[in-house]
Structures are given as structure tokens and as C-alpha cells.
Amino acid sequence: MPADLKPIRSEADYEHALAEVERLWGSKSGTPNGDRLDVLATLIEAYEERHYPIDVPDPVEAIKFRMEQQGLTRKDLEPLIGTRTRISEVLNGKRALSIAMIRKLVEKLGIPAEVLIKPPSLVSHRGTAAPPRPRLALKRRAAAKRKRA
């Protein structure tokens, strides 16, 4: 077995390291093969973090996921978010989480604050993600409607 380990700098190096990990998979910890597997896994992880970053999930999706995991209902969120109406607005992406809500969700549900502070995806009337409209475009549309009326 070759003992030369080097940083993963290219996609070819990455593919080679993955193939070697596959070959070494199941090696006992503390053996030369097991140690090599540990080092390769660390190198692969560092490469993947730089080249294949995972985006932080949408806060609403994170809340829904945690609700599903823990078997929670919307009613269970009332102490954390507020009224049924407010919960509906938050879960439908029509209202952002407040600092107080975020603190309670972090404490009670264990959702990382980093996830909850990300602005939620705006939702259009059809339920699909819609990009935010610039204020100027909204003002022009309103002015055009007034002109037609």
C-alpha cells in the first residue's frame, strides 16, 4: 500500500481519494489501513467543504422538518411563535421570524440560530418561490393602476 498522502487539489485527486476510501472501507481503527482511511476521510471532507458547500436550509423548511421529526403539530408551536394565525403566516413564508421566536425555537426545538436568521424564501400567490420585487417596480405598477382607473 502506498504511504504517500497529499492534499486533494483537483477533481482527479478527489476521485482518486474516493476510490481509495472505497477500497479501505471497513478497515479496523488503529491499523495502517484504518489510519489511512481516517486521514483520507479528513482530506475529502476538507475538499468537499471548499468545493461543494451545503447551503443553509430555509428557516421554514427547517421548522417543518423538525416538527415532522418530533411529531409536533402547529398547536405545539403556539408557545414558541404565537397565535395560530401567526404560525400560519410564518409557515407559509408570509411573516419573518422575530428575535423572540428565534430564541424560543433554538432553545426548545434545537434548530441552529444560523438557520433561523436566514431570510425566508418569499412565496408568490401560487406557492412557488418568487424573487423580491424592487420597490421602484411596485411603485410604477401602482401608478399605472391609478392611471387606468
3 within domain boundaries: no
Residue 118: give its domain's CATH number. Answer: 1.10.260.40
Q: Is residue 47 located within the same domain as residue 63?
A: no
Q: Is residue 93 located within the same domain as residue 39?
A: no
The pLDDT tens digits for 94-116 are: 999 999 999 999 999 999 999 99
> In whole angstroms, what is the distance from residue 121 CA to residue 91 CA?
11
131 within domain boundaries: yes
4 within domain boundaries: no
111 within domain boundaries: yes
Query: Is 3 a residue whose pLDDT tops 80?
Result: no
Query: Is 137 a residue whose pLDDT tops 50?
Result: no
Q: Which structural domain, as residue segments, surrounds residue 38?
A: 11-51
89 within domain boundaries: yes
Work out the angle between the directed axes of helices 99-109 and 59-70 (0-180°, nearest 10).
30
